[in-house]
Structures are given as C-alpha cells and as structure tokens.
Chains A and B, each alone.
Chain A
Amino acid sequence: MGLWWSFLTVLALLAITAPTALTFGFGGAVAARSDIALLRWLGKAYIAVVRGVPDIAFFLFFVIALDQGLEWTRHQITCPGWTEPIWQGNDFRVCDAAKLPLSSSPQWMHEVYGFFLAVVTFAIVFGAFAANVLYGAMWSVPDSQVEAAHAFGMTKRRAFWRILVPQMWIYALPGLSNLWMILIKATPLLFLLGVEDIVYWARELGGTKTEKFTSYPHGDWRLWYFLGLLIFYLAFTKLSEFALARLTRQLSRGRPIKAALA
C-alpha cells in the first residue's frame, strides 16, 4: 500500500512544485529586471547563488534551514520569556509551543509538514532555474512590440502584462520543458529529504528481510525494484517529451519565429 501511495507522493510533488517554482521564477525574473537597484541585485543574486552550488547540498540545507527558521520565528513570538540559548551544543532547542508541528499533533501532520518543506525546497531551487529561463525569454521578445505598446499610450505596467508576458511564453518554452525533465529526474532526491517516496519503499521492501543475512534466501529484490523505478522514470520522461513537443507545435502555430525555437 505504501508503495502505491509513494508514487502518488511523487506525482503530487511534481504537480504542486511546477506551478510554485514557476511563480518563484516569475518573481525572480521580474526582480532581476526591475528598475529598483536593490531588487535587481536581489533577483540576480538569487539566480546566481542557487545555480552555482550543487543542488543536493541545497536540498539538504534548505530542509533544516527552513524548519529551524520557522521554529525560530515562532519561538520569538510565542515564548518571549525564554532565556536559554537556542543552539545548545548539539541541539536546536525551542520551547514546546514553537515546535513545528506540535509534538502532540497526529502522525499525518508530521508527514504533511515534511512534504510541505520538500515542496518549498524544490520550489526555491527550481525557481532560480525558471527565473533564469524567464529572464532570458523576456529579453527575447522583440523590443518593437513593447515600444509599439508604449506608442499606443499603454503604461509600463500595462505593457508588461498585456504585451510582454503573453508573448514571452513561447520563447521560454524550450527552457521550461528542459527544466521539467530535470525536475522529474530530481524527484528521487525526495528520499534524502525524509519523505517516504518511491526510493524509500524500493529500499525497504526489497531490503529489510534480507539485509542481516549473508546467505540470501532469495536474490536481493532491491535490484528489481530499482529496475522498475528506472523504467518508470524512463517512461515518464519519454511521455513528457512527447507531450511537450505537441505543446510547442501548438503554441508556435501561426508564428513566423519557428526557426528561433529549434
């Protein structure tokens, strides 16, 4: 049962992360081309830092950092009278009322919280990549389009939403589809974030009974579970490739810029 549930977890993660990361990416791209210097630097720094460091390091880092950040904030609000230091040697200690989720809450809350942290982590990391793609796409929209909008008397904001944003998607699509492929292939890392995903179950189901013995009663089944996972991912990427190719064809219908998309 847990195995099938974990497949759903992976699919749910993909379904939730993709739009969230896109939102982060949009925010990042808009910030990076903002007129306000501080915002521009922030946007550019976000893109540069996240992309320069191994992703796994980020996954491991953000899960703890987010958890501690949230608990620390709640701690400041809920227990103002607390005097002990929060980092005590090997421990991160906040008052009970600030624990996330509360230690009294049921098991499913813990799992949902873990899943939520994973989604936010994925969204932050992939948001930077999406930001880079969208940033490039916004520059690819011909200047004359925006200039024409200004000539028609549109304000800057209106020209952005009515002209630039609808037109940039077709330029962003190749990059975004590439990103989607990478996102699919990043989902096994959920296992590192402590979510019980398919990798976890493949290890558990194949492994537990045989791990301790040197003489195996049967072959190590994990091999077959992982082979199954490999095929699952292969099929999934292949399917996405097909769907994205169709989408690209559809979006570029009636556009004279086909060559630029190749």
Chain B
Amino acid sequence: MSCLETIQAYGLRSIGIGERLLPREDFTLCQQFTLIGSGLIWNLYFAILALGFGFFLSQAMGLAKASPLPWLRKPAEWYILVFRGSPLFIQFFLAYFIFLEFKQAGILPWLTAAQAGALVVLILNTTAYSAEMFYGALQSVPSGDVEAANAYGMTGWTRFRRVIWPTMLRLAWPAYTNEAIFLFHATTLVFFSSFPAWQQRGDALYYANYFADKTFNPFIPYPILAGYFIVFTLLLVGLFGLMNRWLNRHRPGVVRRIRYRPQLIR
C-alpha cells in the first residue's frame, strides 16, 4: 500500500470512516503517522468542545463563588473543591460507573459512550479549574477601576459588563491559556480510564499505545505523538496569544507574551 492509499484508508479511521481492520503486521511509518494523526481528531474534539462550554460555565461559576449570597457561594466552593482536589483520572472512572448505573435505570444511556460521557467530565473539570482562575482575577480587579466606573455613574449590570468583566478576562487570560493546554493534554486520558474505544475508534494516545504494544518498540509511535502534540500546543498558544493581544489592545506596549508554562495532570 502506498502512503497515499494508507492515508485514504486510515486518515479518518478514528471516526469510523475507511478501512475497518487496523494494520496488524509490517507497520510502516506512514501508517503510524496517519493513524495517530487520525486519533488526534478526538483530542481536538474533546478539547474544543470542553473549552467552548467550560469558558462560559466557569465564568458563571467564578461569579457564583464571589457572590455574597451563601446559597450561591457555598455550592460553588464545594464544587470547585471537589473537582480540583481529586484526580481527573478518578473522576473519569467514577463518572463512567455512574453513567453505567444510569444506563441500567434507563436514563440517558448514551452517556456511557466516550464522546458524550467523557466530554461531560472534561467540561465539569475544566469549569472547576477555570472558575478558580476567574474568581482570582475577579478579586484582583483594581478597585480604582471600579471606583472610576462609579464616578461615571455606572451601576450594576452596565458596570459589570463594561468595566469589571473585561478586566477580569484580561487578568485571567494568561492563566486560562495554561488551563487550555492542560485540558488539551488531559484529553489523552479519556480512553485510558474506563470509557471504551468502540470499534477501536480511539484518540491519538490510544493508537500510539496500540502500535507500541504490537511492535513492542515505543521509540517510534510515542515521539510521533509527542510531535503532534507539540505542534498543536504551539498553535493553541498562538491563538490564545492573539486573543490576549485583542484583550489588551487599548494598552499599547503592555502586551506581554504569554509564557508557555504547561503543567502536569490534575
């Protein structure tokens, strides 16, 4: 099989299009690049959707934590404590078994599938982590800004929308960039917790692991995986950097480059 044919056969394998059987012997470099790249579709899917939902939910959660109303603040504090204090890996396991129970009871049976259930867990997790960041940013909005808004006669919603909220976003953005990177890296955990890779449609790490198991040679698939991840991480950093520039567009010369500071698993 030529490389082009391999790409046609396996390029979209992870979403079930193309050849059904995975290669079993005589693995070529091309096959490894194609399949691992194809698995990356799932990593991007999880990362983009979880970030998309999490962005809005986490701001709501961060505001809830800063709320003076105890019935709003307490649940938010507990939620953040639980999701930040426990390993994501355990959360995946626990959630999967909860979803299994649901399935037994006939409620929302599709949640046991990775593309829905794991996405829910990732959204909940990133919401907790980013909520803490937005909360911290909210606390450090300069009081002078708020006072200036007061002096202009702004109150309530207008003051929040035009002064507090943009400042909060701007302050939280560098930390939020890092959160986005962790989340992207955390998507590799999905198929290694309980969620099954139905018909061997897995993510990039799933295929890398498949090749490492079959060839018993980790020195090829994992570096390929690492290369893909570094490229996409840099892309992510670039995109968030553009957003950072836009958020700080009124402060010429203040725009600092966001430091690329990836951290570990949660």
Interface residue range, chain B = 35 or more
Are A57 and B265 in contact (CB-based, < 8 A)? no
In angstroms, Cα B229 to Cα A90, docked, is 26
Are A230 and B91 in contact (CB-based, < 8 A)? yes
Interchain nearest-CB distance for B34 vs A (Å): 18
Question: Is residue A125 within 8 Å, beta carbon to beta carbon, of the partner chain?
Answer: yes
Are B86 and A237 in contact (CB-based, < 8 A)? yes
In angstroms, Cα B85 to Cα A237, docked, is 6
Known: A90-B25, A92-B216, A182-B263. A57 touches B87 (CB 8 A): no
Question: Is residue B20 within 8 Å, beta carbon to beta carbon, of the partner chain?
Answer: no
Contact residues of B: prevailing secondary structure: helix
**Could you tell me which residues of chain A, from 6 to 31, have a CB within 8 Å of some CB in chain B?**
none
Are B263 and A129 in contact (CB-based, < 8 A)? yes
Known: A87-B216, A129-B264, A223-B94. A187 touches B229 (CB 8 A): no
Are B90 and A226 in contact (CB-based, < 8 A)? yes
Instruction: List the one stretch of B156-164, B219-227, B249-257 in contact with chain A.
Output: B219-227
Question: Is residue A91 within 8 Å, beta carbon to beta carbon, of the partner chain?
Answer: yes
Question: Is residue A149 within 8 Å, beta carbon to beta carbon, of the partner chain?
Answer: no
Question: Is residue B57 within 8 Å, beta carbon to beta carbon, of the partner chain?
Answer: no
**Could you tell me which residues of chain B, from 205 to 225, have a CB within 8 Å of some CB in chain A?**
205, 208-209, 212, 214-219, 222, 225
Instruction: Among B90, B214, B230, find the residue whose CB has the most chain A CB atoms closer than 10 A.
Output: B90
Question: Is residue B240 within 8 Å, beta carbon to beta carbon, of the partner chain?
Answer: no
Question: Is residue B56 within 8 Å, beta carbon to beta carbon, of the partner chain?
Answer: no
In the complex, per-residue mask of B61-97: 1 if CB is within 8 Å of any chain A CB, else 0: 0000000000000000000011001111111011001
* Total A-B contacts with CB atoms under 8 angstroms apart: 133
Q: Which residue of A lies closest to B216 (CB)?
A: A92
Are B104 and A216 in contact (CB-based, < 8 A)? yes
Are B205 and A57 in contact (CB-based, < 8 A)? yes
Instruction: Among B82, B226, B260, B265, find the residue whose CB has the most chain A CB atoms closer than 10 A.
Output: B265
Question: Is residue A189 within 8 Å, beta carbon to beta carbon, of the partner chain?
Answer: yes
Question: Is residue A233 within 8 Å, beta carbon to beta carbon, of the partner chain?
Answer: yes
Question: Is residue A243 within 8 Å, beta carbon to beta carbon, of the partner chain?
Answer: no
In angstroms, Cα B211 to Cα A91, docked, is 12
Known: A186-B265, A189-B89, A230-B90. A60 touches B25 (CB 8 A): no
Among candidates A51, A87, A183, residue contacting B262 with C-beta atoms closer than 8 Å:
A51
A46: which B residues are within 8 A, CB to CB?
A: none
Q: Which residue of B lies closest to A234 (CB)?
A: B85
**Could you tell me which residues of chain A, from 44 to 60, have a CB within 8 Å of some CB in chain B?**
49, 51-57, 60
In angstroms, Cα B218 to Cα A179, docked, is 27
Are A65 and B264 in contact (CB-based, < 8 A)? no
Are A54 and B229 in contact (CB-based, < 8 A)? yes
A184: which B residues are within 8 A, CB to CB?
A: 87
Q: Which residue of A lies closest to B233 (CB)?
A: A52
Are B233 and A56 in contact (CB-based, < 8 A)? no
Q: Which residue of B lies closest to A235 (CB)?
A: B85
A223: which B residues are within 8 A, CB to CB?
A: 94, 97-98, 100-101
In angstroms, Cα B263 to Cα A179, docked, is 9
Question: Is residue A153 within 8 Å, beta carbon to beta carbon, of the partner chain?
Answer: no
In the complex, per-residue mask of A78-104: 1 if CB is within 8 Å of any chain B CB, else 0: 000000000101111000000000000
A68: which B residues are within 8 A, CB to CB?
A: 218
Instruction: List the one stretch of B141-149, B167-175, B184-192 in contact with chain A.
Output: B184-192
**Other A-B pairs beyond A233-B86, A233-B87, 9, CB < 8 Å:** A52-B233, A52-B260, A52-B262, A54-B188, A192-B192, A220-B100, A222-B93, A223-B100, A226-B94
- Give A contacts to B, CB under 8 Å: 49, 51-57, 60-61, 64-65, 68, 87, 89-92, 125-126, 129, 178-179, 182-189, 191-192, 199, 202-203, 216, 219-220, 222-223, 226-227, 229-230, 233-234, 237-238
